[in-house]
Amino acid sequence: MTQSKFRSGFVAIIGRPNVGKSTLMNHLIGQKIAIMSDKPQTTRNKIHGVYTTDTSQIVFLDTPGIHKPQSKLGDYMMKTAEGALKEVEAVLFLIDVADGLGGGDRFIIEQLKKVDTPVFLVMNKIDKVQPEQLLATITQYKDLYPFAEIVPISALQGNNVETLLAQLQKYLPEGPQYYPADQVTDHPEQFVVSELIREKILHMTREEIPHSIAVGIEDMRVQENGVVYIGAVIFVERDSQKGIIIGKKGALLKEVGKQARRDIEALLGSRTFLELWVKVKKDWRNQERVLKDFGFRH
């Protein structure tokens, strides 16, 4: 008997203000797990929430930079948003069906054309319109972009939200459970911290290191002197990868630590002491038990 593998991934939620992004998140996550950090976010993605089942986990990300730039800073945000959209498994583009197609949505669609990530057109607030209007709106949007899926929902009433989730499952690769299920985490920063470290490694090693590495936060606490201590383990699949990440005389790992620490300090707003280890765990992606001691816990 073959056992199906755990699937997980990141999904960006985008859309103009008031289309119902928060309402959808609240409906999806309910009281089960709500991860919302009120710390200032310096990473390009804000974690909206996490949806976990027995077989999968979806981490929903907010991508604020997608909106029409108002300034130079806006331009910069756009660039990072574009990067963020490339790194997710799917994008949920929410629209308000009662509003009709306007400049704001046209602008977002232009940005979506720059990336290959599958985009769902999520037509929200169907409770507000007649079926004819819904169909007319679908035609309008479909002409502008080849959406991977088109899903009409009412986030407020919960209509068709299950369908949306079922469709999303198809886009998730095999992967670890990043957050504990059925638990409200009081340390959402741990995840962001591990992602910051992972990002630095991927940038610095280019193609040599596959995306299959994982970073587990073993320990994260405020010391008496006010410095945040973080102990993190970088998991790789092969000895050769371990060598690459450590680098000549530890140079690469040291640079990873330096750059990650700078970002982490900005994120947490406090001085940080970051200790990194590299461990080889063969075929970690397929070993469920191994995933448990990855430090995706607290």
Residues that bind ligand GDP (CB under 6 A): 15, 17-23, 124-125, 127-128, 154-156
Cβ-contact 44, 65 below 8 angstroms: yes
**Taking the complex as a whole, how short is the minimal distance between the CB of residue 195 and Mg ion, in angstroms?**
22
Q: How far apart are CA 146 and CA 224, in angstroms?
A: 55
Whose CA is closest to 246, among 204, 216, 218, 281? 204
154 binds, among Mg ion, K ion, ligand GDP, none (CB under 5 to 8 A by kind): ligand GDP
Site for K ion in 98-157 (CB under 5 A): 112, 115
Residue from 3, 7, 12, 22 that binds Mg ion (CB under 5 A)? 22
Any binding-site annotation on 65?
Answer: yes
Using rule CB under 5 A, residue 205 touches Mg ion: no
- For the beta sheet containing 90-96, the strands, ordered from the edge strand earlier in sequence to the opposite edge, are 46-52, 56-62, 7-14, 90-96, 119-124, 149-152
Q: Which range of residues in 18-26, 34-42, 246-254, 277-285 is near Mg ion by CB under 5 A?
A: 18-26
Select the residue whose beta carbon is closest to Mg ion and give its number: 22
Nearer of residues 45 and 124 to ligand GDP, judged by Cβ = 124
Q: How far apart are CA 117 and CA 106, in angstroms?
A: 18
Q: How far apart are CA 263 and CA 147, in angstroms?
A: 35
**Taking the complex as a whole, how short is the minimal distance between the CB of residue 190 and Mg ion, in angstroms?**
24
Any binding-site annotation on 125?
Answer: yes
124 binds, among ligand GDP, K ion, Mg ion, none (CB under 5 to 8 A by kind): ligand GDP
Q: How far apart are CA 200 and CA 189, in angstroms?
A: 17
Hey, CA dihedral for 42, 237, 297, 233, is it positive or negative? negative
Q: Which residues bind Mg ion (CB under 5 A)?
A: 21-22
Annotation: binding site for GTP: 15-22, 62-66, 124-127
